[in-house]
């Protein structure tokens, strides 16, 4: 129906604002970066009175997680602080507070010459220890560096793509996640297990099939019988299961036994009993007003 949660919409707009904060070139983005970044280029960790900053701080990790650099001329990418060669920056991979990071402001263009990597041997050694191979990183010659939103590699950053990421739909859905790992699926399986009363410690396709092997025919018969509104065992457990599954039931009409009497016919009339009327008393075929038998018929 296209109805979206307000919570997801709010998160999407906050991430879009954080993207503009990090990658924007307008006056607002430049002003915000100057206000909320320290001299070494990192985001300020202390409190600043701003209604916008609290939302930006929440969305920054999401932006960094789902974005990466495409290396061009290397002039816009910081060598140590940007995640251009791995999922996180080299600074985060090294994780050494003794290094004077405030004094290190090199750009990636320092190790690029004529569209090729020309990194010094010391840097190559550091990258090798971090399992980073520059030869696997492509340089787009003649182009500027570009920050892209990973779930949408070929188009520009869009709120729609962010919303799909917030809803965790950017990756291709797998059968394992759809039927077993998803929170909704797991809750449904736990509900079914408690309803059918089988023991299954870790639900997956193999353990579930093995656990319901002895219950499958019982469950199928009960399900079909409930849908067709036919006879089931009518035990308290069966009726409770049908009620939880919200299968509409229609109680069978009880046989109603009624006693009936007939009056004597009037004078000049004869009472003729049919097979149904004379059942249990087949000898009398007709009586008069005085209850005397006039005639009886029987097959030979």
4/167 Cα distance (integer angstroms): 10
Is 84 in a helix, a strand, or coil? Answer: coil
| pLDDT reported for residue 18 | 84
- Nearest CA-CA partner of 90 in 37, 126, 116: 126
pLDDT in tens, 69-95: 889 998 888 888 888 888 888 888 888
How confident is the model over 247-272, as a mean pLDDT?
Answer: 75
DSSP state of 37: B
Question: Which residues fall within 8 angstroms of residue 58, CB to CB, at 6 or more apart?
Answer: 14
DSSP state of 271: E
- Rounded to two decimals, the pTM is 0.46
Q: Would you give the distance in Å from CA 241 to the centre of its chain?
A: 25
Q: In the chain, at which residue ranges do the beta strands (DSSP E only) sit?
A: 67-70, 112-113, 116-117, 146-149, 271-272, 286-287, 293-295
283/293 Cα distance (integer angstroms): 9
| pLDDT reported for residue 117 | 92
How confident is the model over 36-49, as a mean pLDDT?
Answer: 69
Is 255 in a helix, a strand, or coil? Answer: coil
Is 70 in a helix, a strand, or coil? Answer: strand
- Nearest CA-CA partner of 12 in 160, 157, 148: 160
- Nearest CA-CA partner of 68 in 171, 159, 132, 152: 152
How confident is the model over 175-198, as a mean pLDDT?
Answer: 72
Q: Using the structure block, give the residue that is written with the tokens 């016919």.
A: 265
71/68 Cα distance (integer angstroms): 10
pLDDT in tens, 108-164: 999 999 889 999 998 899 888 888 888 888 898 888 888 887 766 555 667 777 777
Position 217 pLDDT exceeds 80: no
DSSP state of 67: E
277/244 Cα distance (integer angstroms): 48
Confidence of residue 277 (pLDDT cuts 50, 70, 90): very low
The phi, psi pair for 37, rounded to 5°, reads -125, 150
199/208 Cα distance (integer angstroms): 9
First to last CA, the chain: 76
């Amino acid at each position: 129906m296209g109805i979206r949660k307000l919570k997801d919409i709010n998160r999407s707009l906050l991430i879009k604002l954080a993207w503009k904060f990090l990658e924007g070139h307008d006056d607002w983005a430049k002003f915000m970066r100057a206000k909320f970044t320290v001299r070494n280029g990192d985001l300020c960790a202390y409190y600043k009175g701003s209604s916008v900053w609290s939302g930006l701080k929440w969305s920054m990790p999401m932006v960094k997680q789902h974005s990466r650099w495409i290396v061009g001329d290397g002039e816009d990418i910081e060598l140590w602080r940007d995640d251009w060669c791995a999922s996180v920056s080299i600074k985060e991979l090294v994780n050494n507070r003794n290094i004077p990071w405030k004094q290190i402001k090199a750009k990636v263009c320092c190790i690029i010459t004529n569209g090729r990597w020309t990194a010094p041997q010391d840097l190559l050694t550091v990258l090798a220890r971090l399992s980073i191979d520059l030869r696997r990183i492509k340089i787009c010659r003649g182009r500027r560096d570009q920050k892209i939103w990973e779930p949408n590699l070929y188009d520009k950053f869009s709120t729609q793509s962010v919303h799909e990421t917030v809803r965790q739909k950017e990756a291709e859905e797998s059968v394992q996640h759809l039927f077993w790992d998803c929170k909704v699926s797991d809750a449904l399986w736990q509900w079914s297990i408690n309803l059918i009363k089988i023991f299954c410690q870790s639900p997956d396709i193999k353990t579930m099939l093995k656990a319901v092997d002895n219950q499958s025919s019982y469950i199928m018969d009960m399900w079909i019988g409930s849908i067709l509104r036919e006879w089931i065992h009518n035990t308290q457990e069966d009726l409770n299961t049908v009620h939880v599954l919200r299968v509409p039931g229609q109680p069978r009409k009880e046989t109603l036994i009624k006693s009936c009497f007939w009056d004597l016919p009037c004078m000049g009339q004869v009472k003729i009993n049919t097979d149904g009327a004379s059942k249990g008393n087949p000898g009398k075929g007709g009586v008069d007003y005085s209850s005397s038998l006039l005639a009886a018929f029987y097959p030979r």
